[in-house]
A and B are shown apart, each in its own frame.
Chain A
Amino acid sequence: MNESFGNIFINACLVNNFVLAYFLGICPFLGVSGKMETATRMGGAVTFVMLISSLCAFGIHALLVAIDAPYLQLISYIVVIASTVQLVEMFIKKMSPALFRSLGIFLPLITTNCAILGLALFQTNKGYNLPQSFVYALGAGLGFTLALMLIAGLREQMEFAEVPRMVKGTVLTLIIAGILSLAFMGFAGLGNG
């Protein structure tokens, strides 16, 4: 696999956006997209966890290949990612209370999110090396943040709009999400994705 970094990034961020193209991580996408500020912070937390889990997945994969037990991939990914994020959370709490306050409450929420696990499985399937995995995780995280911020901005504006009562609330959010997803289809073909 000799994909260039730019290709991997564009691919993960826009063309195959985790939320709007793969439909992974829908829970935070709908749950914490009511306000721009929380959406940005959630996006930051997801990007952070994705980078960590990408690193973990790379190490675990190498280990599993060494002992010839690739069928343990899924379960060990879950265990390792969850524990590592827990560990990092403790570390942040100790080292930087300010960072903990802004990211802290989101970290346990997303540790076992499907977007995180999806990232780990995809990068293994695609056979990325370490720097490629890193760029892939960064792209996926920023793509997630972008999607979250887009829908948060739209939802903030929609608060003031007069919409029929039957589509108010979750229904409207789902419709917006669908339209956004359609819009992201326009990126197909970019960067040979």
Chain B
Amino acid sequence: MSILTAIFALGGLTLVLAIMLIVANKRLYVFEDPRINTVEDMLPHANCGACGLPGCRPFAEALVAGKVLPGKCTVSSDVGQQAIADYLGISIGAEEKKVARLACAGGTNVAVNRASYGGLSSCRAAVLVSGGGKGCFWGCLGLGDCADVCDFDAIQLDEQALPVVDIDKCTACGDCVEICPKDLFTLQPISNRLWVACKNLDYGDVMLEDCQVGCTACGKCAMDAGTLITMEHNLPVIHYGTAPLNDQPIQRCPTGAIVWLDDQHGPVKGREAVKIIRKGERAPGVS
């Protein structure tokens, strides 16, 4: 008798639940545009967030909804963007390529260390010990957290322990911007070729003790640059977009802190800039 009870009770229970789920599946079905999956397959699956959305799937949803254009995805190739644009019947919406730029030029040959840091080889760890061992409080610590975090292998440390961004590989995902404890990276449109490679807020002589290529706050670059360059807190600030850029402002810079970024040859310094010959490490007190 009890076996019959069990069979009927469980059978009835599962039957009721099954019917409930079937009905719910039909009634509560959420329609998803099948194009979202197709578009997602066409995206690079880097999930880097460079487009400003949390990942490739939300980007695909936004694309299908018409909220963004394929050009926002800086990781996919031109061909890939065109394919998505053709599939959805929209324009690419070309965005100017952005790259990560480092606002420091203080490699080991020009910038001194005040203390020797021997802990975990990570900028974020070093910065916890009174800001790291570097003389310049604002400067790059050169332990390569940015190179480690870069998913695209676009950042390498050079011989002077300064990160160099490969602008062909850089997708402007912003990971290095986030990781740098000194906030030295920013994402810049590639046409912003006039660039202040220094964040030191000290006055000239104090700064020169720590670094030979920092900004002395002399203001020569801003002299006849009009509204393009203004001096703020001992640093020149370039107001991109207010005037066409040219390489005039770099020519009078005594240290070469303001540079012209040349894609082929790297940063170009002005005529007046002090020449750096030293390759090895600069000791404190040596000019």
Contacts and interface: CB of A to CB of B under 8 A. Distances in A.
Interface of A: 64, 67-69, 71-72, 75-76, 79-80, 83, 86-87, 90-91, 93-94, 160
Contact of A87 (B5, B21, B30, B125): B21
Contacts of A64: 9
A83 B2 CA distance: 25
A90 B24 contact: yes
Given A83-B17, A90-B24, A68 B10 contact: no
A85 to B, nearest CB: 11
Nearest to B8: A67
A83 B15 CA distance: 11
A72 B28 contact: no
Interface in B155-170: none
A90 B13 contact: no
B121 interface: no
What is the predominant secondary structure among interface residues of chain B facing chain A?
A: helix
Contacts of A93: 28, 30
B287 interface: no
B10 to A, nearest CB: 6
B14 interface: yes
Contacts of A86: 21
A76 B24 contact: no
A64 B2 CA distance: 13
A38 B166 CA distance: 34
Contacts of A160: 125
B65 interface: no
A79 B28 CA distance: 21
Interface in B3-49: 5-6, 9-10, 13-14, 17, 20-21, 24-25, 28, 30
Interface residues of B, number: 15
B17 A94 contact: no
What is the predominant secondary structure among interface residues of chain A facing chain B?
A: helix
A94 to B, nearest CB: 4
A87 B20 contact: yes
Given A76-B13, A79-B13, A83-B20, 16 more contacts: A64-B9, A67-B5, A67-B9, A71-B6, A72-B9, A76-B10, A83-B17, A87-B20, A87-B21, A90-B24, A90-B25, A91-B28, A93-B28, A94-B28, A94-B30, A160-B125
Nearest to B122: A160
A71 B9 CA distance: 11
Contact of B24 (A68, A71, A87): A87
B17 A79 contact: yes
Contacts of B28: 90-91, 93-94
Interface centre among B9, B20, B21 (most CB of A within 10 A): B9
Nearest to B128: A160
Contacts of B13: 76, 79-80
A80 B5 contact: no
B20 A69 contact: no
B21 A72 contact: no
Contacts of B25: 90
Nearest to B124: A160
Contacts of A67: 5, 9
A76 B9 CA distance: 9
Contacts of A69: 2, 5-6, 9
Contacts of A94: 28, 30
A75 B21 contact: no
A75 B125 contact: no
Nearest to A95: B28
A93 B30 CA distance: 7
Nearest to A97: B30
A163 to B, nearest CB: 13
Contacts of B125: 160
A164 B114 CA distance: 31
